[in-house]
Structure 1
């Protein structure tokens, strides 16, 4: 064998190498992975290329043909047009989601703003994009940048539903950067935007390899605006600018991307394509160009696969009541207590900031129920009493300390309903010690801010009751006396709102004893009180409570409630506002209302969602003579005025849902609800509040108009786009055939029943139950959905894509006396931004080099030809090197798959001789 410079060779000690010099006396200079070496020619063997290995080890026989077909399918299946619709995730997959996924996954470059309305599934769309790019081999590194409160939600969705194996970055997550650069070591991360925008983190991001995809959730927080003659960029925006340069693909998500400021929106588009518009005037004049970077679909556009309406109707009614006399007396005292607290906080300036947070939390709890505020007042009194004992202990005043701790013990005994026996006394002391530990640990102002801040969303407020207890160093003078006085005036009769709720439940169950009813209340004190009262008044109907915990706890509560023989009532804190689906119930009560009305929309979304068969009935319970009730009714009134003006009131007098979500979405960005409610304590006539609300509402309406005008030329969703990529049946059939043959090749079993349930047992004796029908998988918890991203399918695709090249060449008998070669190639094309596209291309010729196009379209049929009996002697190297490879290159250029400015690689993945 004659060796040449550049030839690949193998050495038993040094492994694979390349000849870089031919020396005298039978020696070669070879470059190996461990450096250059001078080795004897006798120790070297010629190393065949992948293509040479394939054509040098042709095989015959039925088993050989099956292996070659499986390898071909392992490359072909992930590139199907219907790849998005073939996901194994147990979700309701909707046409607009499939179309968006396909358009983004097959685009180049991939830099988009996904601005679908609330409720259309931007999280699902993002996960489908990630899943499809990963299946196509075009996604290795991905970074999700999301608000802190949504990190866990994203983590759960991407991993538990879509099997994407993301890790959480941050001090409380899976990954930190304390000892190394986590961004370089980990390929799939979720991080909060606040965690990443620090300079030290940005430096580490710059040092790490480029990301294939970066996603910003709630992208309207990436703001830059004009301040005088200068552009002011927020830290969020600066982070996005950095990530634009550190990512191949960039996706921004926001249901409200335009905040009524065209300049800000123009700067947002510059993150995606800096050259799209010169300025805001150019953007307004040429708004059709937004189609290059923006997707926006509305609930009115979205539909089912058959074209029918996606969402059932909804009916939302506000039921307002006035307080009883004893409730009003208590409420007035409480308002005075809160007003004094805020006044002191304002006088103290920065020192009083924490006290202001405490008062804000109290105000929010008071808006939920008198039971919740009483519970919190009692426990704060307990904490203040223990704190007093701790202070006396520090001053070595033993008598005063014991008096305080004994008083605390009596409060504990009453609060936790404990007796005076030995075991009860031990429990009292245990609770006392627990409180001491919490109080000594204290709470930072930052923790209080999270609990108090309305922008933290309702999801964080469940911890507010706890935070107000541990924040006892922030207190009013003589606060213990104030609380005792307040508690002495606490209502002893059943609350007005509770009476109304109990009456309504009775009416509903008289009409339908099996009616399932969802009740939302923000705070644990309210939830526990409602649970007790409903159980007492309607024994046997059953109540389940969802008050926090991980996703498993949510699913367990949902499952209990869904059981036809299970409880008829689900009472939930904010923990149930995301991550559970309750469309099997049609009635929802908001016993209290979160300050941000958009949080109410999320609550309603638990029952008013795809799959709801009836009109969703929502009842908001309001005490109209409380500050919170007055403000809510004022907001509701303003919304209806706007809707009436715009012709957006339905026949029942309700604000049309699309207008409601658009206005409230804009309002959330323009109105500080916390400040609004706090200021209202000293404004009983709500004069200032009305002014602020009207101004914010006016701005929100203008923003809504600006959005409508700017987006009016965006392409709307059309079912016609869905039909060409919706062929799930043929795609699923190919997938089923692939997995069946792969399992049988391993001596596993594949048994399909008449009701389309597939029982699979692989070579490790692992048994699975699968189905190809999405609806069945959603109904049957123990049956998994077959899909491209199912772990079993992913495993076999990986196995056969990495199959030894020696098994990829086969010989079959011709059926029409025509002889020739069919070569199958995997082509990987890389663009300027390292965007990658994969293709499977076949080239068929006769033995003289003439093209046979019909064979290229009949690959699956050719794999069904009978195996040849022997391996004939033909010049395969000539056919490969001199005829087929040049023909492949010309074909790729002709089809526009490759261009001069693009790098590409071709890999032979199949060689079929038809003789």
Structure 2
């Protein structure tokens, strides 16, 4: 292209000898001055070629044809689909998508700035809401870098949820994941990370975070732990708070999650709000006085707010009953001796100071296991005896006492053969040697005190709870004096009869099945020893009913167990370890037994939530089985009684005398922040009358109740959820039809066959008869069918197609079509990114249509899709560059201002993604 008119100052050009350059002065006498890499030069106009801008490239290469029209439409749709209004409701994640979640996601995703506290009550899906926000922002092209900061015990849960359910491709940073910062700054290299708050708050890590590029979005889970308080006029910020403070200025969007964000201390809550908007309040008093302003940064939905899409109640009723029993004489004798063993262990750990931390953690784990069942602690004691025997052999080996070493290892082999039911033949001996070698390796390796602390903690995750049994076995470096003999003595006193709690559970199951033999029952027991024993006892008592056990494993393993339990002729009983506490839905069962009780009552609420959830059609019946003469039983019953007293005083007791669910969750949530259950139960070992324990529990409950009242007062002006807010998003059929059409067109463009089947299922097949893709647009049926995908904007195939057609070469997206009513002109489609007051970005589609005289054609702008369906036109007219540069491009700025998309003195980027010339 050598026309002088196109060679103007600022024009990028290419020269055969000097490469790329920029014109610095207008062409005269056939020559032009330009700046190249080697400096400024004067060159002949005929020796240079203009480098066209992207929009000009599109306009100069307009073409026609059926396939070209189709691909140009696909390119336009690839940009437009992620920005449709109902995007949040069009996720392909197989989840129950609830109205309050859809509305919240849309409001946050389309807000500017995005700095919010999501304070929904427990059980309303804050994890799902976060994932939906991440998903929608990613689809809109407004999320590249995201950081999830969560409690250590929840890292794996978040990782599984975001990746397996929502296909978000997050990586785990720190000791629990593959991403580290040993050799380089991981926060620069990785764009989507999940990390524990404890891992990130160390000063060297905070510095690396600050050295990395800004994050588009940072989310803090359990944000009530970001605390800053005032004492004696002095402000004290925790390391957690300082981390959030640093990240606040190093991210575009910030979201805090907490069901209990206010701990009854207005100043702490005021400081939490400062992280979101330091200009909103001048002081805690100002916050109380103008609490209505909290609406601008807080979303809080209660279970009373939540409902189904049709407006019906979301949660069925629930009935929780505690059945208490006393131990038999032989059980009490065993329990008392075990109690002494634990007391001695805690005393030695305390005496040893820092050196005794590991033993203290082991005793805590033992105490938890003992509270589950005698069978569970019996199993752990047996295996700890083996490990102690191996440890003794290793000690003799280090002293070169060969005879003593061999004797210890020989005894360990015998114990292993008995424990694992190994035969005396060669194969059994080989297996015993393998177990022995594995124990040696693990004992020598030792376990880090911090890891033990996490495993014994009330915040340990489902996999860590199961691992804690193992840790209590192999953490033998510090043992009690004569511990092997003490364990042998304990084992001889183990009650041979069926446990009291088990007898009562077996009788209760019989009563249920007499009334309805098809009744499904869920039983929670935290530890493997309890689970294995219960499975055997139930199979023995009711051989025809069937038992499925959920011990753990990945999400797929859980779903497989859940699926077997749901089959019409499947097992009638599912026994779950802590692995079943999250991530599975068992609402087709209505009866749940808590065979043991977790120390943290909020974990009990999570268990109940497996059956008492969206989709439950009956009253959820929950039975807590408690040995009232154990320490754990006494504390649980004491807590239950105190809760009932508070509920009666507040008039929050139902017709069965049960504490109202919302009050229970509010007070227990506050209590969890005030009380270390781990310390409470450990101290109770040396306080059998529970005098000190009772006082501590009463004080904590009083504080929790007070905090609940303070929160109620402060939050009373917050907007609740209204189903009217959901109406604009309730009908997703139009958006889903657009996605189906997009997928069908894209699949056919690459030679695949697309056909509908019965029951709303679609199938995409390849010419080489590869694995077909089967999907449906019906959320409910997709959740039931494992082999059928749910179609949505975030389905991997849809994402792949959108990426492909968004990157279609510029030369292929301009088309020429024949007018159907005699009007001629151009429709231009722009993907516009605008900047807000705080440099936040927003993406939107903008359609501008004009005729040859430059007059707007509003009807074309509203019917973009229709113009792509016009017949291809074969006429070959001159490129309409003037129309682009002199009319349409200047029009963008005016239109953005007119529509309120562009703030004063703010920039924008407009990318031409569609050009339709109508002739």
Check whether TM > 0.5. yes
Matches within 5 A, 1:400-479: 400-456=404-460, 460-479=464-483
1:640 corresponds, among 638, 644, 648, to 644
| Map of 1:799 onto structure 2 | 804
| Map of 2:92 onto structure 1 | 88
- Between stretches 444-453 and 187-196, larger displacement belongs to 444-453
State the distance in 1 between where 2:333 and 2:503 align. Answer: 19
Matches within 5 A, 1:94-243: 94-243=98-247
Matched, 1:854 2:887: no
State the 1:217 CA deviation. 0.9
State the distance in 2 between where 1:477 and 1:641 align. Answer: 45
State the distance in 2 between where 1:458 and 1:800 align. Answer: 42
| Map of 2:299 onto structure 1 | 295
Please state whether the residue corresponding to 1:499 is helix, strand or coil.
helix
| Map of 2:380 onto structure 1 | 376
- Aligned residues of 1:542 and 1:569 also touching (Cα < 8 A): yes
| Map of 1:527 onto structure 2 | 531
- Aligned residues of 1:457 and 1:596 also touching (Cα < 8 A): no
Matched, 1:810 2:815: yes
State the distance in 2 between where 1:170 and 1:718 align. Answer: 41
1:482 corresponds, among 476, 482, 486, to 486
Matched, 1:574 2:578: yes
| Map of 1:71 onto structure 2 | 75
| Map of 1:777 onto structure 2 | 782
State the distance in 1 between where 2:896 and 2:179 align. Answer: 43
- Aligned residues of 1:149 and 1:459 also touching (Cα < 8 A): no
Matched, 1:655 2:659: yes
| Map of 1:750 onto structure 2 | 754
- Aligned residues of 2:834 and 2:908 also touching (Cα < 8 A): yes
| Map of 1:267 onto structure 2 | 271
Please state whether the residue corresponding to 1:367 is helix, strand or coil.
helix
- Aligned residues of 1:54 and 1:805 also touching (Cα < 8 A): yes
State the distance in 2 between where 1:158 and 1:38 align. Answer: 58
State the distance in 2 between where 1:473 and 1:648 align. Answer: 51
- Aligned residues of 2:321 and 2:623 also touching (Cα < 8 A): yes
- Between stretches 498-507 and 508-517, larger displacement belongs to 508-517
- Between stretches 416-425 and 367-376, larger displacement belongs to 416-425
State the distance in 1 between where 2:105 and 2:823 align. Answer: 42
- The alpha-carbon distance between structure 1 residues 75 and 421, as it changes in their structure 2 partners (threshold 3 A), is closer
- Between stretches 808-817 and 769-778, larger displacement belongs to 808-817
1:57 corresponds, among 55, 61, 71, to 61
State the distance in 1 between where 2:789 and 2:74 align. Answer: 23
State the 1:35 CA deviation. 8.9
- Give the TM-score of the pair, scaled to structure 2: 0.95
State the distance in 1 between where 2:705 and 2:680 align. Answer: 19
State the 1:642 CA deviation. 1.1
State the 1:833 CA deviation. 3.5
Please state whether the residue corresponding to 2:322 is helix, strand or coil.
strand
State the 1:26 CA deviation. 7.8
State the distance in 2 between where 1:693 and 1:506 align. Answer: 37
State the distance in 2 between where 1:307 and 1:111 align. Answer: 29
- Between stretches 762-771 and 132-141, larger displacement belongs to 762-771
Please state whether the residue corresponding to 1:834 is helix, strand or coil.
coil
Matches within 5 A, 1:299-310: 299-310=303-314
- Aligned residues of 1:116 and 1:254 also touching (Cα < 8 A): yes
| Map of 1:834 onto structure 2 | 839
State the distance in 1 between where 2:909 and 2:633 align. Answer: 66
- Aligned residues of 2:288 and 2:714 also touching (Cα < 8 A): yes
- Between stretches 878-887 and 534-543, larger displacement belongs to 878-887
State the distance in 1 between where 2:469 and 2:39 align. Answer: 66
- The alpha-carbon distance between structure 1 residues 762 and 708, as it changes in their structure 2 partners (threshold 3 A), is farther
| Map of 2:695 onto structure 1 | 691
| Map of 2:773 onto structure 1 | 768
Matched, 1:352 2:350: no
| Map of 2:509 onto structure 1 | 505
State the distance in 1 between where 2:598 and 2:276 align. Answer: 35
- The alpha-carbon distance between structure 1 residues 176 and 25, as it changes in their structure 2 partners (threshold 3 A), is farther
State the 1:41 CA deviation. 4.9
State the distance in 1 between where 2:612 and 2:37 align. Answer: 61
- Aligned residues of 2:653 and 2:660 also touching (Cα < 8 A): yes
Query: Cα deviation per residue 1:415-439 (whole Å; 9 max; x = unaligned)?
Result: 2333444443343333333322222
- The alpha-carbon distance between structure 1 residues 135 and 476, as it changes in their structure 2 partners (threshold 3 A), is same
Matched, 1:318 2:347: no
State the distance in 2 between where 1:803 and 1:270 align. Answer: 45
State the 1:369 CA deviation. 0.7
State the 1:9 CA deviation. 2.0
- The alpha-carbon distance between structure 1 residues 464 and 70, as it changes in their structure 2 partners (threshold 3 A), is closer
State the distance in 1 between where 2:244 and 2:531 align. Answer: 41
| Map of 2:341 onto structure 1 | 337
| Map of 1:681 onto structure 2 | 685
- Aligned residues of 1:113 and 1:294 also touching (Cα < 8 A): yes
- Unpaired runs of 5+ residues, structure 1, are none
- Between stretches 35-44 and 468-477, larger displacement belongs to 35-44
- Between stretches 642-651 and 396-405, larger displacement belongs to 396-405
State the distance in 2 between where 1:323 and 1:442 align. Answer: 37
State the distance in 2 between where 1:690 and 1:842 align. Answer: 69
State the distance in 1 between where 2:461 and 2:909 align. Answer: 50
State the distance in 1 between where 2:535 and 2:363 align. Answer: 27
State the distance in 2 between where 1:840 and 1:417 align. Answer: 69
The Cα RMSD (Å) is 2.3
- Aligned residues of 2:14 and 2:48 also touching (Cα < 8 A): yes
State the distance in 1 between where 2:277 and 2:424 align. Answer: 73
State the 1:440 CA deviation. 2.2
- The alpha-carbon distance between structure 1 residues 491 and 892, as it changes in their structure 2 partners (threshold 3 A), is same
State the distance in 2 between where 1:806 and 1:889 align. Answer: 25
Query: Cα deviation per residue 1:720-763 (whole Å; 9 max; x = unaligned)?
Result: 11111233011111222222222222222111134221111357
Matched, 1:895 2:899: yes
- Aligned residues of 1:170 and 1:191 also touching (Cα < 8 A): yes
State the distance in 2 between where 1:185 and 1:683 align. Answer: 53
State the distance in 2 between where 1:723 and 1:673 align. Answer: 44
State the 1:409 CA deviation. 3.2
- Aligned residues of 1:458 and 1:594 also touching (Cα < 8 A): no
Please state whether the residue corresponding to 2:372 is helix, strand or coil.
coil
- Aligned residues of 1:457 and 1:599 also touching (Cα < 8 A): no
State the 1:83 CA deviation. 0.7
- Aligned residues of 1:458 and 1:599 also touching (Cα < 8 A): no
- Aligned residues of 2:8 and 2:27 also touching (Cα < 8 A): no
- The alpha-carbon distance between structure 1 residues 743 and 403, as it changes in their structure 2 partners (threshold 3 A), is closer
Matched, 1:671 2:671: no
| Map of 1:878 onto structure 2 | 882
- Between stretches 221-230 and 22-31, larger displacement belongs to 22-31
- Aligned residues of 1:385 and 1:480 also touching (Cα < 8 A): yes
Please state whether the residue corresponding to 1:212 is helix, strand or coil.
strand
| Map of 1:367 onto structure 2 | 371
- The alpha-carbon distance between structure 1 residues 860 and 579, as it changes in their structure 2 partners (threshold 3 A), is same
Query: Cα deviation per residue 1:592-622 (whole Å; 9 max; x = unaligned)?
Result: 1111111111111111111122221111110
State the 1:560 CA deviation. 1.9
- The alpha-carbon distance between structure 1 residues 34 and 482, as it changes in their structure 2 partners (threshold 3 A), is farther
| Map of 2:849 onto structure 1 | 844
State the 1:154 CA deviation. 1.3
- The alpha-carbon distance between structure 1 residues 813 and 443, as it changes in their structure 2 partners (threshold 3 A), is closer
